[in-house]
Amino acid sequence: MSPSAAAPFVDPSVLSVALDALADDTRCIVCVVNLDGTILWVNRLTEALCNAEPGTLCPTHASQVFPPEYVSERLEMMREAVATGRPVVCEGICWGLYRRTTFRPIPTPPEEVPRVLSVCRPKPADEASPNDSGDPPARRARFNDLGPLAALTDRELEILDLIGRGLSTAEIARHLHRSIKTIEWHRVSLGEKLGATNRVGLARIAINAGLSNGPLPAPDGPKSP
């Protein structure tokens, strides 16, 4: 075979840089994980989101990075991908952002634990679930990683959701049968916890987390006298 007909060779170090750049430019969290839950490789964005020094996440068990229930559900999907040889796609909250994750089985030496490539990317609120890549439709995850939103109370999450839907303070107060002063106090608390200086910033956080995608939450009952 002539050199021109041979398959092009890419130095592994160059390929690694290219993959990191692609993942970073598309804001994707990219990991190689085996079915034991051990993280074997991550891109730089994943390390940055974990506040981890380069190279310190591998090998690490995924439960040291994500909530246990979140990890357990994703490992089920990875096992399905390996068993069927087909990608599995799910949508849910990861690090406080609504994302679409695709799990793809990748070649693994026979004597080693099967490996899966996980690519997790932000999902725009106006993007339909089906895509044109031939992958199966996305399923909604049961367990989420709320990230910074985990510090919020249930009431604060509810109010953040309503802010993301464009409701004013007065409208939220009527919907929840609470005083405007109470809702405003919660809004200030939300801003302090999430680092948002105004309602626009809070609304953006709610939309990016996918909180405002579903039906409007049921209103509270009237306050007791």
pTM of the full structure? 0.74
User: What pLDDT is attached to residue 225?
Assistant: 40
Neighbours of 134 (CB within 10 A): 7
Residue 42 lies in a domain: yes
Q: Where are the alpha helices (DSSP H) in the chain?
A: 12-25, 44-49, 68-84, 154-164, 169-176, 180-194, 199-208
Tally of domains in the chain: 2
Instruction: Indicate if 140 and 152 belong to the same structural domain.
Output: no
Instruction: Indicate if 17 and 63 belong to the same structural domain.
Output: yes
What is each CA distance from 33 to 55, 68, 105, in whole angstroms?
15, 15, 10
Containing domain of residue 107, as a range?
Answer: 13-145
How sure is the predictor about 9, in pLDDT bands with cuts at 50, 70 and 90?
low
pLDDT digits (tens, 9 = 90+) for 65-85: 889 999 999 999 999 999 999
